[in-house]
A and B are shown apart, each in its own frame.
Chain A
Amino acid sequence: KQEVTQIPAALSVPEGENLVLNCSFTDSAIYNLQWFRQDPGKGLTSLLLIQSSQREQTSGRLNASLDKSSGRSTLYIAASQPGDSATYLCAAPNAGGTSYGKLTFGQGTILTVHP
Chain B
Amino acid sequence: NAGVMQNPRHLVRRRGQEARLRCSPMKGHSHVYWYRQLPEEGLKFMVYLQKENIIDESGMPKERFSAEFPKEGPSILRIQQVVRGDSAAYFCASSPPGESTDTQYFGPGTRLTVL
The contact of A43 among B48, B99, B109, by CB within 8 Å, is: B109
Q: Contacts A102-B56, A103-B35: A108 and B42 contacting too (C-beta < 8 A)?
A: yes
Interface size for chain A: under 10, 10 to 19, 20 to 34, or 35 or more residues? Answer: 20 to 34
Residues of A within 8 A of B (CB): 31-32, 34, 36, 41-44, 46, 49, 51, 89, 91, 98-108
- Asked whether, in the complex, the Cβ of A107 is within 8 Å of the Cβ of B42, the reply is yes
Q: Does B106 contact A (CB under 8 A)?
A: yes
- Asked whether, in the complex, the Cβ of A99 is within 8 Å of the Cβ of B103, the reply is no
Cα A100 to Cα B55 in complex, Å, equals 9
- Asked whether, in the complex, the Cβ of A105 is within 8 Å of the Cβ of B43, the reply is yes
Q: List 19 A-B contacts (CB under 8 A).
A: A34-B103, A36-B106, A42-B108, A42-B109, A43-B109, A44-B43, A46-B103, A51-B101, A89-B42, A89-B43, A98-B56, A99-B48, A99-B56, A101-B99, A101-B104, A103-B33, A104-B45, A105-B35, A107-B42
Given contacts A89-B43, A103-B33, A106-B42, 6 further A-B contacts (CB under 8 A): A34-B103, A49-B102, A99-B55, A99-B56, A102-B56, A103-B43
